[in-house]
Amino acid sequence: MKIDNGLINLLSNFDAVITKMLRTVNFWVRFGLSLPGRISIMKTFLLSQLNHLGCFLMPSDSQLTIMQDLCNKFCLGRNRVSKSRLYLSPDEGGVGLIDLRHFLVAQQVLWFKRSNMSTRDNWRCNLFELGLGNPYTINPIKVDQAKNPILYGLALSFGFFLEKFNKLNGNLQKSFILNNPNILRNGKGPGIVDENFLGAGECNFYRLS
């Protein structure tokens, strides 16, 4: 990974990943594998190249589009499948391909669980502090992107996950209130419920129920 002193060209590292993925596809496409075989190759040799950096750094939209198209075209070959079935599991009548953005979001969300379990590393301590003692209450608007570009990206992924998660199966009822994108304040103007609004020392542990 190449890191510039201004931390503004981090995403350029994915250009090399795209090149490696394309090289891998060009090698395996010659073997005429079945659809399940190509999907196995994609999960084994393509995802691993992406996840090496993608587990903590999200590619740009254009880079993700290139990699997603590369994986989908390799796996599908000449098969034509509706977009609605691409990422469904075979049990649901789908092909079982992987949505790369959702895959990377899932990988990045795991860092919050790890930091909540232990603060033995600097990055864990930073997540712990940004969440006011609870990493699960981090909101990207509370993270300085210029100072912490990696943590800001992780916070974006966690916010994306949390918003979807809270809308399922009544999960919102057990969610933390602080900085929750699904819970908006009303008494002191619109916006998320932050520590200033709650005015409590351990407000990050408040839940709806």
For residue 208, what pLDDT is reported?
A: 61
Distance (Å, whole) CA 1 – CA 179? 32
55: in domain: yes
Q: How many domains does the chain have?
A: 2
For residue 30, what pLDDT is reported?
A: 94
Give the bridge partners for 189, in sequence order.
187
Contact 149, 7 (CB under 8 A): yes
Distance (Å, whole) CA 83 – CA 17? 25
- Do both 78 and 163 map to the same domain? no
Looking at 39, 74, 98, the residue that finishes a domain is 98
Looking at 83, 98, 113, the residue that finishes a domain is 98
Closest to 108 (Cα-Cα) out of 144, 152, 64, 145:
152
Q: How many CA atoms lie within 13 Å of 167's alpha carbon, on the beta-carbon side?
A: 7
For residue 45, what pLDDT is reported?
A: 96
**Which residues in the chain show pLDDT less than 50?**
none
Intra-chain end-to-end CA distance of the chain, in Å: 44
- Do both 75 and 137 map to the same domain? no
For residue 178, what pLDDT is reported?
A: 83
For residue 187, what pLDDT is reported?
A: 57
- Do both 109 and 173 map to the same domain? yes
For residue 198, what pLDDT is reported?
A: 73
For residue 63, what pLDDT is reported?
A: 98
- Do both 160 and 139 map to the same domain? yes
Contact 77, 35 (CB under 8 A): yes
For residue 173, what pLDDT is reported?
A: 86
Burial class from Cβ neighbours inside 10 Å (0-12, 13-18, 19+) for residue 30 reads exposed
Domain containing 73 equals 10-98
- Do both 62 and 115 map to the same domain? no
1: in domain: no
- Do both 76 and 128 map to the same domain? no
For residue 190, what pLDDT is reported?
A: 66
- Do both 109 and 198 map to the same domain? yes
